[in-house]
Amino acid sequence: MSKRIAVVTGATGGLGTAMCKALVDQGRQVIASHLPGEADTQAAQAWQAEMNGAGYEVAILPLDVTDFEACSNFVATVERDFGAIDVLVNNAGITNDAPLKKMAQDQWLQVINVNLNSMFNMCRQVFEGMCERGFGRIVNISSLNGEKGQFGQSNYAATKAGIYGFTKSIAQEGARKGVTANAVSPGYIDTPMVRQVPEKVLDGIIAGIPVGRLGQPEDIARAVAFLTDDNAGFVTGTNLSVNGGQYMS
């Protein structure tokens, strides 16, 4: 049996890298996406070389997840060069924080387009084919702050909360077709971005996590691997919170 094809968007960051490795270990052929642009392409090529050098053979292609046509072309390229997509992990996301009274419309729309519209843009391209073939695994990456909200992140929290409704709805549409859709909501994870937080602030964050530490990217990757497993067909329409007990719903 040939390897199942898995796509991970926003793949070159700390979480995306761990997800790609977990999917390769799961026996998938992984195609990662990165932002278009010369500098982004150079960084992506370096990332791919590092991954391949560590024994993780991945392909990587440019993709603007906010562009519906670009997503269509991306999926067509993957299907032409590798095969039909069986697994989709929607990981691409950004922040652009401000209190609501200071938030510009552009800040709102930019985050909505990247974090939420991308879910439709990508799922719309692969969902029908998954249903026709009788197998599909979709995992949408949400956030702790989509569950509980966060000061200065009304745009980000709205997108991450919106992912739950979208995921549950398409889970119902795919349930009898062998297609599952689930969300994963990471808490505070030990990535370079989180480590940029001032030390005193970070210490306060960690003090509020019952397990007493930041999560590791591999903690999120294991959750993704569980939900994308061939044997996970009875798990759909759910959200898996991986936050060290910081928020218990």
Residues 7-39 have pLDDT tens digits of: 999 999 999 999 999 999 999 999 999 999 999
Residues 138-148 have pLDDT tens digits of: 999 999 999 99
- Edge-to-edge strand ranges of the sheet holding 239-242: 58-62, 29-34, 5-8, 85-90, 136-141, 179-186, 239-242
Q: Which residues contact 234 (CB under 8 A, 6 or more apart)?
A: none
CATH superfamily of domain region 5-189+218-235 = NAD(P)-binding Rossmann-like Domain (3.40.50.720)
Q: Compute the distance between CA of residue 155 and CA of residue 183 in angstroms, rounded to an integer.
A: 19
Provide the whole-model pTM. 0.97
Contact 85, 4 (CB under 8 A): no
pLDDT of 1 reads 65
Residue 2 is given by DSSP the state: P
Please say if 164 is a catalytic residue: no
Residues 154-186 have pLDDT tens digits of: 999 999 999 999 999 999 999 999 999 999 999
**CA dihedral sign, ordered 95, 100, 104, 106:** positive
Q: Per the residue annotation, which of 56, 156, 164, 247 is the catalytic one?
A: 156
Nearest to 125 by CA among 172, 82, 70: 70
